[in-house]
Amino acid sequence: MRVEGSIRPPGDKSITHRALIIAALSRTRVQLTGVLTAADAKSTARVLRQLGAGVGQLRRGQGLEVRGKAWRRPKGTLNCGNSGTTARLMLGCLAGHRFESRLTGDASLRRRPMRRVTEPLTAMGAVVKEVTRDRLPLSICGGSLSSSFRFRSPVPSAQIKSAILLAGLTGGVPTTVVEPARSRDHTERLFRYLGFDLEAKGKEVSFKGPGGTWPRIESFDLQIPGDASSAAFLVAVGLLADSGQLRIENVGVNPTRAGFLTVLHRMGACVVVENEAEVCGEPVADLVVSPARLNGTEVTATEIPGLIDEIPMLAGLAARAEGETIFRSVGELRVKESNRLVLIAQNLRSLGATADVDGDDLVVVGSDRPLRGRVDTARDHRLAMAFGVLGTMRGAKVELSEAGSAGVSYPGFFEDLAMVMTR
């Protein structure tokens, strides 16, 4: 299999969520380009419309206008679909509003923990009513928040941190979040791009708040770069190819998201970063990928926050690398859209590879045996894409239980794969 040509991944999912939310809070017109049009982003847009914001339809290749308005109590339940980011960030926003909202999601999202966000928001002064312990559906009523708030997070989590910062923004409350390790900083970068008073030093982020009940957000334009996590699967295709070269354009290379590149370089990957620039506060670049023979490595616990979504892809590559690869302290994978930790190992074994879970560690031993068998994606988009990539290799016969879940984060993923590959 040969790769060739250039391709642009869809807009960054994390930034799209945040841009839509901030735009909806602005009480003015905001123009967004590069918005992700996948299912998770549409969940955030749908929820914002229920709260009164004017959010246009998300269409691939088109700009999006958002008309921010004062949020109102929704008439019905806010359905966050499959999107944990939508649920957790909206909980933060709603903590600063003096009305009650009820949130739910699909069956997968209703199994994912929410107290990691609701507990600090309750400590700030929001009132949360649970139906089932630590799960959606739940109700939140905010508005009467403490005059200032400092939180030491037990885990590095951009969703926890962002929820607290958004509660501070909507409630006019100075907030500080201290993490055990630095997590994604898209919220901080967006706040700074908009001129908010925010300071980040090491593992601590402090936001002094805009003052008053409503945020003072001026009209702005924002360009959203290509999603690093989506680009990672295209990188994997290029590395596993027999020949050729693939250029992946306009990829966000935020240091808190690009940890997978560091690991790949350590494994011997040939990925060249070109045309580096900064756009609207986010670093972007082109990634030029060539086939390479990979070696096993150890991915340490401190590296995991910067590449948690790329572990399915890295584990797939590890199955084709020489030697053993160990992913340390990846227990967080158990509470993603599926139990990714167990399913990655289980599916690799189903294809004839050697993989096992040891406590919270994932161990994969590489080989050059053809990968053949059936994969259970559990309707998890990252698993569908990671194992779909392994199926592109010469001699591989990988049957996915379904492929449609890729549309959660990357609409048209398999069409794009076919476009860059030649036999």
Listed residue (346, 288, 290, 340) closest to 319, CA to CA: 346
Instruction: Map residue 65 onto helix, strand or coil.
Output: strand
Phi-psi region of 407 (alpha: psi -120 to 50; beta: other; left: phi over 0): alpha
- Whole-angstrom Cα distance, residue 280 to residue 126? 32
* Overall size of the chain counted in residues: 423
Residue 309 is a catalytic residue: yes
Non-local CB neighbours of 62 within 8 Å, separated by 6+ positions: none
User: Residue 203 burial by CB count (10 A; 0-12/13-18/19+): exposed, middle or buried?
Assistant: middle
Helix (H, G, I), strand (E, B) or coil at 119: helix
Rounded Cα distance between 324 and 300, Å, is 14
Burial of 384 (0-12, 13-18, 19+ CB in 10 A): buried
Q: Residue 198 pairs with which residues in a beta bridge?
A: 207
How many C-beta atoms surround the C-beta of residue 400 within 10 A?
20
CB 45 within 8 A of CB 85: no
C-alpha closest to that of 319 among 276, 370, 278: 370
Closest CA to 237 of 259, 269, 266: 269
Instruction: Measure the CA angle with vertex 303, ends 301 and 309; round to 5°.
Output: 100
Which pair of structure tokens corresponds to residue 56? 């246009």
Marked catalytic residue, from 12, 227, 309, 380: 309
Starting at the earlier edge strand, list the strands of the sheet with 246-252. Answer: 6-7, 246-252, 282-290, 270-279
Neighbours of 270 (CB within 10 A): 16
Per the DSSP assignment, residues forming a β-bridge with 221 are 31
Separation in Å, CA 321 to CA 251, 269, 297, 380: 25, 10, 9, 24
Active site residues: 309
